[in-house]
Amino acid sequence: MTQILANYTASISELKKSPSSVIEEANGETVAILNHNKPSAYLVPSDVYENMMDILDDYYLMKEVEERLNDGQKPIKVNIDEL
30 is in which domain, residue-wise?
8-71
Q: What is the pLDDT of residues 17-29, one digit of tens each?
A: 999 999 999 999 9
Q: Domain total for the chain? A: 1
In a domain, 65, yes or no: yes
In a domain, 32, yes or no: yes
Q: Where are the beta strands (DSSP E) in the chain?
A: 8-11, 31-35, 38-43
In a domain, 37, yes or no: yes
| Angle CA 49–2–53, to nearest 5 | 15
In a domain, 12, yes or no: yes
pTM for the full model?
Answer: 0.77
Beta bridge partners of 38: 35
Q: What is the pLDDT of residues 9-52, one digit of tens each?
A: 999 999 999 999 999 999 999 999 999 999 999 999 999 999 99
Q: pLDDT value at position 36? A: 95
Rounded to whole angstroms, the Cα distance separating 60 from 7 reads 29
Q: Provide the phi-psi class of 39: left if phi over 0, else alpha when psi is between -120 and 50, else beta.
A: beta
Rounded to whole angstroms, the Cα distance separating 39 from 63 reads 31
CATH number at 18 reads 3.40.1620
In a domain, 80, yes or no: no
